[in-house]
Structure 1
Amino acid sequence: MSETTQTSQSLYQALWNSADVLRSKMDANDYKSYLLGMVFYKYLSDKMLFFVAETMEEETESLDEALAVYRKYYEDEETHEDLLAVITDEMSYAIHPDLTFTALVERVNDGSFQLEDLAQGFRDIEQSDELYENLFEDIDLYSKKLGATPQKQNQTVAAVMKELAVLDVAGHAGDMLGDAYEYLIGQFATDSGKKAGEFYTPQPVAKLMTQIAFLGREDKQGFTLYDATMGSGSLLLNAKRYSRQPQTVVYFGQELNTSTYNLARMNMILHGVPIENQFLHNADTLDEDWPTQEPTNFDGVLMNPPYSAKWSASSGFMDDPRFSPFGKLAPKSKADFAFLLHGYYHLKQDNGVMAIVLPHGVLFRGNAEGTIRKALLEEGAIDTVIGLPANIFFNTSIPTTVIILKKNRTNRDVYFIDASKEFDKGKNQNIMTDAHIEKILNAYKSREDIDKFAHLASFEEIVENDYNLNIPRYVDTFEEEEVEPLTEIVAKINQTNATIESQTASLLDMLGQLHGTTPEADEELKAFVKAFKG
């Protein structure tokens, strides 16, 4: 296998080219599933081929060579059965040599590719282990969107596979599907009519939230992490960067959208998360509580829910233990607090840390939201409020806030950080760098007042503000303009007047040299110069 790892740039280029094939046929929300599904199939196929070559101790430089090795031992009666047993034991799946992505691309190149082969490959993976069950269910290879006739559908899929063939999927460093996600969403989601932020939390925000959740617990074995609106799972998977026991982290995630849920499953597999450490669920988080069987409370809760989503808010929820202690339900038109309370309910009593991103309205809106906020503050649940810059998310340009919640705190103060200026300006979006995140984290750790940046507000101060948590009430970022001394102002006025006089004299001199082409015009010009001199 080649030592060089493909750069993100060439990954993006290959995705861009393959997306070009689909872009005119369907919107971004649809082709995202096709692309990432096929990338994932290629990943499983490539990984298996290189594993076979390694197991059989055969040196290979390319996928074509690895496929030749696989075919040789697969077709040999003596090694066939043992080889398949070793592959399925290690991978939980095995792909027939003729159905590997590499073999299918060979057939694309010689014109003999049939769509049914890829469909069969998908089915074989899904039936090999419950881990892969229904994983490709929303990728309809026979969709009319791909082409009006079977032949056209065949051509479209073949063209996409040809573009993806150059991807070094097995050797790509980092969060590959996450990188692909961020790229696809950033480039194509604007016309999809869906909120791109439902699928992916930008990496800087994910880094900040995850580091806060793990702070002081990086060495904890078996850390449990929960995201009730997990999208592609990328927010959860940041745990691998910040836990020093990444293979022991246990992931719990729920997602309403089936396509996105399947992509989160792919993302977990692609990141090598052990099967026994992933518990993912496809359902409506607010409608029915999950998880309800042990464990139900977690060391960390991370959430980036859809902002101001609608929900039923039916009166029956007042008996739901997630919401009943807080006196009111989140309004029908804004489920923000319903998501927050759901996550908080699933937080461990001791040392549990929750980080949730929401729009600023939750900090100061009144009525039911005001009642819930007051109850949370009286309980000491709200630990920290961090104001983020505007325009850092895919789906909204408004500034957002990360709220940190904890249970069983010894006091009820709230730490405010105004990080709204912590960004570099990007072409389409503002970008938070590692230095910006570091500054926020250092403040969060210190919990000290920092001029124009952070303030620790006592509970009494919050009561005085009528439980309003709007950040400018607590962190004054007003910069007074320096007043110049009067002598300097007068000197500037005199200088400006002198310049005007000099320019006027120069203009009059030029006008004096002009003559009209007729006696009438000359008279008119003289009158104008006289009037101009005043």
Structure 2
Amino acid sequence: MTVVFLCVFRFIMPHSQTILYAMSEEQRRQLQQQLWNIANTLRGKMGADEFRDYILGFIFYKYLSEKIQRFADAELAQENLHFAALKESTEEGRAYIAALEEAALGELGYFLKPSELFHAIAMKGSNQEDEHKLGDSHNFILADLTRILKNIEQSTLGTESADDFVNLFEDLDLTSSKLGNSEKEKNALVAKVLTHLDKIDFNLSDSTADVLGDAYEYLIGEFASGAGKKAGEFYTPQPVSTLLAKLVTAQKQTLKSVYDPTCGSGSLLLRVKREAKQVDKIYGQELNRTTYNLARMNMILHDVHYADFDIKQEDTLERPQHRELRFDAIVANPPFSAQWSASQLHMSDDRFSVYGKLAPASKADMAFVQHMVYQLAEEGTMAVVLPHGVLFRGAAEGHIRQYLIEQLNCLDAVIGLPANIFYGTSIPTCVLVFKKCRKNPDNILFIDASQHFDKVKTTNVMRPEHIQKIVDTYKARSNEEKYSHVASIESIKANDYNLNIPRYVDTFEAEEAIDLAVISAQLIELDKASLTTDATIAAFCKELGIAPPFAQV
């Protein structure tokens, strides 16, 4: 195969593969433990939210390297050549590399040269590099690594994938004093981490497994649990993500689009992709720059093609980036009771103007609901996690709640979740499910799942059976004593549009009746036993020649 033909020939890969999780439990566990052990190499130097950026960035770099190498080796197979062995110093090698770059940018959206591959840098860092390729025998790699990460981003300039790679590694600061007090210390630590990572097989050749993606999700969750309050900025606990994903795919498995206006690390969007049979395109918006970068990495690492996701970095309420679009499924875990501008300028914004009221500046919960309802397609489904206060707070929030029910009639279900299931807060939360074209316009389903969980140390955890019970009840729209109730719109109106779950699902447990005659008989027997015991003690005291410790009758 000639270099010219190489430009035309493609090792065709699907733009968006369905995420499959058919890996063995042992394979999953081992990789998770390996990666966590490597992550802990950095732990003594910085906080959980800081060393997260380094280890996830390095894992992502390794993934990009292995993916480009697999792609290039497949293209070179007929020539019996290997990408890593191409000589960048020869004219023939440069010709092959140029052709491969053109092919890779169209298919994968980025490019790395053979000398920029993760393995090459890891080998150089451990002083085992291939001399004829890398030249310098010393093992200082920080400058090389900084240049390579920048080159990955720059390789996409002018291409369709540019927006998805721009500034992707900006949080991986290799000059930070947190890596060490001297350049030598920094280099040694980074080289150690890369060397350990280089020994791990990500098994990218197995298209039936998402071992790395699953392990990446595990690490994100572990970092979230160690980051306290900051975790809410980038991660929704997996059971909650699973519940939301199952709810929005309950009646529709093929989705043209899914959207999360506060997408964090993107894990919730990926969970929907996992639950659905097909998702054509993923959309998200995230305010925090670091978390936005993490979300883009997460998409690419889960083999979502760059053309199949569109994640923006901006304030969703103030500057929505996808407002002209309408989505088949919307999922969200907005920051609880966040502050927002509540500017009167929003009263001319179609997202809010029809309600006649804005959510209070100190609690943006209802503002997020208004935004999402506006972006929901006519046949779409939306599921959002919110604090319980949105169910009963008055003033502007009460007015908005009434409008959603009375005028738009789009609230389909209210689901109460257990307390203490989120990182950084123990407050109870709820899930609101919205549909614009409801099949049951005369009622709203209430589910009280607040007592359905397992206690794990200091946290409450929803197990698969707890999640499935909620989903089954939602699908069946059934009444179950002390668990669920289908409430008529009239009854909700009678309650002044207060959605507090105990008003509709009676979970009162009557105390067991007390049989006073039985209690009296037990007291009599106790009294008799006490007299016998007193007599025994008195006898012992008499033998000892001391007075008993109680008054004798």
Q: TM-score range by the shorter chain?
A: 0.7 to 0.9
> C-alpha separation between the residues in 1 aligned to 2:54 and 2:183?
17
Q: Which residue of 2 aligns with 1:281?
A: 312
Q: Could you say if the C-alpha distance between residues 161 and 512 of structure 1 is closer, same or farther in structure 2, counting changes exceeding 3 Å?
A: farther
Assess if the C-alpha contact under 8 Å between 1:415 and 1:456 holds in 2.
Answer: yes
| AA in 2 matched with 1:182 | G
Assess if the C-alpha contact under 8 Å between 2:69 and 2:84 holds in 1.
Answer: no
What is the number of residues matched between the two proteins? 502
Q: Which residue of 2 aligns with 1:464?
A: 494
Q: Which residue of 2 aligns with 1:38?
A: 58
Greater shift in the superposed pair: 463-472 or 105-114: 105-114
Q: For 1:369, which of 367, 372, 397 is the aligned residue?
A: 397
Assess if the C-alpha contact under 8 Å between 1:39 and 1:169 holds in 2.
Answer: no
Residue 454 (structure 1) shift: 0.3
Greater shift in the superposed pair: 484-493 or 429-438: 484-493
> C-alpha separation between the residues in 1 aligned to 2:31 and 2:73?
24
Assess if the C-alpha contact under 8 Å between 1:413 and 1:458 holds in 2.
Answer: yes
Q: Which residue of 1 aligns with 2:109?
A: 92
Residue 56 (structure 1) shift: 4.8
Q: Could you say if the C-alpha distance between residues 151 and 490 of structure 1 is closer, same or farther in structure 2, counting changes exceeding 3 Å?
A: same
1:462-515 deviation digits (Å, cap 9, x = unpaired): 122111111111111111122244443333323333332333333323323324
> C-alpha separation between the residues in 2 aligned to 1:165 and 1:500?
75
Map 1:3-402; keep pairs closer than 5 Å.
Answer: 7-56=27-76, 69-74=82-87, 78=92, 81-82=95-96, 85-86=99-100, 88=104, 89-110=106-127, 112-129=139-156, 130=162, 131-171=164-204, 173=211, 174-186=213-225, 188-190=226-228, 194-218=229-253, 220=254, 222-246=255-279, 249-293=280-324, 296-349=325-378, 351-379=379-407, 380-402=409-431
> C-alpha separation between the residues in 2 aligned to 1:178 and 1:412?
40
Q: Could you say if the C-alpha distance between residues 313 and 412 of structure 1 is closer, same or farther in structure 2, counting changes exceeding 3 Å?
A: farther
Greater shift in the superposed pair: 333-342 or 168-177: 168-177
> C-alpha separation between the residues in 2 aligned to 1:358 and 1:74?
56
| AA in 1 matched with 2:95 | E
Q: Could you say if the C-alpha distance between residues 533 and 214 of structure 1 is closer, same or farther in structure 2, counting changes exceeding 3 Å?
A: same
> C-alpha separation between the residues in 2 aligned to 1:83 and 1:43?
19
Q: Which residue of 1 aligns with 2:159?
A: none
Residue 79 (structure 1) shift: 6.0
Greater shift in the superposed pair: 21-30 or 34-43: 21-30
> C-alpha separation between the residues in 2 aligned to 1:23 and 1:233?
24
| Structure 1 consecutive aligned stretches of length 4 or more whose deviation exceeds 6 Å | 3-6
Structure 2: where are the runs of 5+ without partners?
1-22, 128-137, 157-161, 205-209
Secondary structure at the counterpart of residue 455 of structure 1 = strand
> C-alpha separation between the residues in 2 aligned to 1:467 and 1:49?
59
Q: Which residue of 1 aligns with 2:524?
A: 494
Q: Could you say if the C-alpha distance between residues 483 and 4 of structure 1 is closer, same or farther in structure 2, counting changes exceeding 3 Å?
A: closer
Residue 185 (structure 1) shift: 1.4
Residue 162 (structure 1) shift: 3.3
Residue 397 (structure 1) shift: 1.1
| AA in 2 matched with 1:276 | A
Secondary structure at the counterpart of residue 126 of structure 2 = helix
Greater shift in the superposed pair: 385-394 or 498-507: 498-507
> C-alpha separation between the residues in 1 aligned to 2:298 and 2:511?
51
Q: For 2:456, which of 426, 444, 450 is the aligned residue?
A: 426
Secondary structure at the counterpart of residue 376 of structure 1 = helix
> C-alpha separation between the residues in 1 aligned to 2:357 and 2:496?
18
Structure 1: where are the runs of 5+ without partners?
59-65, 516-524
> C-alpha separation between the residues in 2 aligned to 1:514 and 1:412?
84
Assess if the C-alpha contact under 8 Å between 1:14 and 1:166 holds in 2.
Answer: no
Secondary structure at the counterpart of residue 250 of structure 1 = strand
| AA in 1 matched with 2:366 | F
| AA in 1 matched with 2:495 | N
| AA in 2 matched with 1:197 | G
Q: Which residue of 2 aligns with 1:520?
A: none
Q: Could you say if the C-alpha distance between residues 166 and 497 of structure 1 is closer, same or farther in structure 2, counting changes exceeding 3 Å?
A: farther
Q: Which residue of 2 aligns with 1:519?
A: none
Greater shift in the superposed pair: 391-400 or 226-235: 391-400
Residue 78 (structure 1) shift: 4.6
> C-alpha separation between the residues in 1 aligned to 2:503 and 2:267?
34
Assess if the C-alpha contact under 8 Å between 2:483 and 2:507 holds in 1.
Answer: yes
| AA in 1 matched with 2:60 | F
Q: Which residue of 1 aligns with 2:130?
A: none
Residue 457 (structure 1) shift: 1.0
Residue 52 (structure 1) shift: 4.3
1:143-194 deviation digits (Å, cap 9, x = unpaired): 23323332232223223323433433345525342222012212x213xxx5
Q: Which residue of 2 aligns with 1:449?
A: 479
> C-alpha separation between the residues in 1 aligned to 2:63 and 2:278?
25
Q: Could you say if the C-alpha distance between residues 6 and 452 of structure 1 is closer, same or farther in structure 2, counting changes exceeding 3 Å?
A: closer
Residue 95 (structure 1) shift: 2.2
Q: Which residue of 2 aligns with 1:473?
A: 503
Assess if the C-alpha contact under 8 Å between 1:313 and 1:332 holds in 2.
Answer: yes
Secondary structure at the counterpart of residue 302 of structure 1 = strand
Residue 202 (structure 1) shift: 1.2
1:436-465 deviation digits (Å, cap 9, x = unpaired): 111111111111211000011111111221
1:93-115 deviation digits (Å, cap 9, x = unpaired): 33233322212221222261320
